[in-house]
Structure 1
Amino acid sequence: MTHLLSDSLLAGLRERAADYDRDNAFFAEDLADLQAVGYLRAMVPTALGGAGLTLRETAHEQARLSAHAPATALAVNMHHVWVAVARYLHDRGDTSLDWLLSEVVSGEVFGFGYSEPGNDLVLLGSRTEARPDGSGGYSFHGRKIFTSNSPAWTRLGVLGLESSGGKDGEPRLVHAFVTREGGGFEILDDWDTIGMRASQSRSTVLDGAHAPADRVVRLLPPGPSLDPYVLGIFTSFEVLLASVYAGIADRALELAVEAAERRTSMKTGKTYAQDTDVRRRIADMALAQDSVWLQIDGITRDLDASASDPTLDRGAGWFRATAGLKVRVTEAAREVVDQAVRVSGGSTYFNRSELGRLYRDVLAGIFHPSSDDAAHATVAQSLLGPLE
């Protein structure tokens, strides 16, 4: 397993995490450190100037980062998703996003501008209007939410709906990239949340942000799609997101063990590490994490290998596999953190507590797609077919 993040670098990120959280500040110093070690180009193939990490290796690195600075990991995740999508296509002979890999190597930072208020279709539809410019490009008009890396992205992947386009005049979903220097947007200073504060995932109002023809990467009909671009987004997003929350749970387990070995019971005179109830809670946490990593490793191993081994390609089954992974991992992480709080006692209720911060951060997993309801619907459809 290749590691790009040294223990000393991660220790420095952990030291800053509490300050970022308290001040509701962007992780600017963390980002500079991660850029300096080449972490933002981790998944770019070595032949193109990157570190060449696989999806599985990147998931493990993201978990290590999250165990030290969850909000930093979450924001960086949205950049990694786009690199993972480009890598997914590249490994399957599709060079349509190789320009993105080159721009990552040159230092560009990518943001993910797909989420919208009230849009439970996510990749299948959009409330944002995509207006054609007559030359193959589009301008975008609408509101995006949870746009991580808001202070730092230089390229933003966006999704909009062209209400009537193409030869048949049918609506089309427009997947494209806009630039920060191109303007046509406003980033709102509205990120004041209970957790994941350093990610600064602010709302972005698009009002004419323009993507030229060479940055329009897909024109697809609304609704489900097996286009490799969509598959790449969905699988990369779910897997890398799961890794962030797995890292939070890994750290919560560490802190619970430390607390059990440090705290002493007045009743018995022994540490809580000798308390059978505490031991069972910690064992439950470890069993859950063992299962989580078996799932992450299994799915990422198959995704990586399926580029060269078609027998491992699940096709539409990837939606069920990765949506289920995201839900299982984020729900398990919430339970692990909750158990860690119970083991560690009332000190975790104070803002100065790292575990208390993890308790707030882990809640964000509820809101990322796929939601629990959406994942259940995906699994039901795979077994029972679509609703009539």
Structure 2
Amino acid sequence: MAFLSDELLGEIHSRAARYDAENTFPEEDYDQLRKAGYYAAFVPEEFGGSGLTLSEIAAEQTRLAKAAPGTALGINMHQIIVGLGRMLVDAGRSEGEQILRDAADGHLFGFGISEPGNDLVLFGSITDAEPTEDGGYAFTGTKVFTSLSPAWTRLLTFGADSESSDAPKSVFAILRREDGGVTIKDDWYVLGMRGTQSNTTLLEGARVKAEQVLGRVDPGPNLDPVVLGIFANFEILLAATYAGVGERAIEVAVEHVKKRRSVMNQTVYANDPAIRWRLAEAALLMNAVGPQIREMAALVESDAEPNLGWLPRLSAVKNAASEASLRVVEQCVRACGGSSYYDKNELSRLYRDVLAGLFQPSDQESLHGAWANMVLGPVAD
């Protein structure tokens, strides 16, 4: 049974074009999602949530993305962090409980991981995490693509501790907006996914107490529950969100070609063999995405022992969804013709939105590098 009602998704869809055109945060969407219990949908029941599984929340993200990609991608970051909290608790790490309880209480989590020019992404930070006398940390650095900037009340972030005796360590923690030390720039002037309002965030000695620290981890690829929790939920839920963009593009194109008539052939374009081939090709591409998402979600929530081979496999799921959706939207634009070039056409917005998947981790370069190492081994000396 679906969690988000069709009526709610219809209302969210009706506002998507306006938020995109205005380049504003979809406050009404988030108000409705909060009231519908979606902030806590992925939180286990024992912590006050609805207890959806990873596969189930992924399916909801796909449905939401079909209604409003920007809103879906924004709340996706919240759900990723809730998923991290779940994996920490499942691993016996009580630090994750604060995430689950706060999400159940209506807090909205932002994602403050990416940094300008840092292609290590999750595996090493250029933000300074300075130890404080009370056992906490003060973070100083710049975070980019910080989704939900106008609205988050909690922010997942990390930095590098280079001062402690066991340094270097990557320090992951939850910042609280009310504690200050954060400046948000008004710089989200972008091609698509405008509703995420992923503004640059300046951490200016932003402090966390010891209990807000989720973990101190060796830099680099590893299977610490903090790193794996972020990585796994990020890749799977991002894939699910972009899958929604591709699926929606097909719906829009099908409706259009059933009405659009060819003067030359004196029939609707839905009867044109070339158009039928294009949309069949689009449907085939999307048909292959869902099973990959469900397979990896089931693996992550299984009792299987994680290994480093999971990381490239998780990257592959995101890549499959974002690349397939990009190709699908292109096919749909081609099938619908010049009218899809106008701003008022939903395909125009979907085309701009789907391009964001090119930049989000894992990109194709790191993906192919990881798979080359897995298949061929490291480069020989």
Question: Normalised by the shorter chain, which TM-score bucket?
Answer: over 0.9
1:110 lines up with 2:109 in the alignment: yes
CA contact (8 A) 1:188 1:203 kept: yes
1:236 lines up with 2:228 in the alignment: no
Shift of 1:4: 1.5
Q: Percent of aligned pairs with the same residue?
A: 47
1:319 lines up with 2:311 in the alignment: yes
- 1:329-372 superposed Cα distances (whole Å, 9 cap, x missing partner): 10110000000001111111111111100000000000101011
Shift of 1:16: 0.5
The corresponding residue for 1:145 is 144
Rounded to whole Å, the distance in 2 between the matches of 1:272 and 1:141 is 57
Letter in 2 for 1:381: N
CA RMSD in angstroms comes to 1.1
Shift of 1:298: 1.4
The corresponding residue for 1:16 is 15
Shift of 1:303: 1.7
Rounded to whole Å, the distance in 2 between the matches of 1:265 and 1:124 is 54
Alignment of 1:229-268 (within 5 A): 229-268=226-265
- 1:224-280 superposed Cα distances (whole Å, 9 cap, x missing partner): 211122111101000000111000000001111111111111111111111000010
Letter in 2 for 1:155: R
Shift of 1:218: 0.9
- 1:280-317 superposed Cα distances (whole Å, 9 cap, x missing partner): 0111011111101111111112222x1xx33xx44212
The corresponding residue for 1:48 is 47
Letter in 1 for 2:349: R
- 1:34-64 superposed Cα distances (whole Å, 9 cap, x missing partner): 0001001111111221111000011110000
TM-score (norm 1): 0.96
Q: Secondary structure at the match of 1:97?
A: helix
1:300 lines up with 2:297 in the alignment: yes
Alignment of 1:201-220 (within 5 A): 201-220=198-217
Q: 2:179 aligns with which of 178, 182, 191?
A: 182
The corresponding residue for 2:57 is 58
- 1:159-193 superposed Cα distances (whole Å, 9 cap, x missing partner): 10112313x4x311111111100110100000011
Shift of 1:96: 2.4
Q: 1:269 aligns with which of 256, 263, 266?
A: 266
Structure 2 stretches lacking a partner, 5+ long = none
CA contact (8 A) 2:20 2:195 kept: yes
Structure 1 stretches lacking a partner, 5+ long = none
Shift of 1:124: 1.0
Alignment of 1:73-92 (within 5 A): 73-92=72-91
CA contact (8 A) 2:25 2:196 kept: yes
Q: Secondary structure at the match of 1:52?
A: coil
Shift of 1:93: 3.6
Q: Secondary structure at the match of 1:345?
A: helix
Letter in 2 for 1:253: I
Q: Secondary structure at the match of 1:316?
A: coil
CA contact (8 A) 2:316 2:367 kept: yes
CA contact (8 A) 1:40 1:80 kept: yes
The corresponding residue for 1:72 is 71
Shift of 1:196: 0.4
CA contact (8 A) 2:182 2:202 kept: yes
Letter in 1 for 2:192: G
**Which has the larger displacement, 184-193 or 84-93?**
84-93
TM-score (norm 2): 0.97
CA contact (8 A) 1:164 1:172 kept: no
CA contact (8 A) 1:115 1:146 kept: yes
Q: 1:200 aligns with which of 177, 197, 202?
A: 197
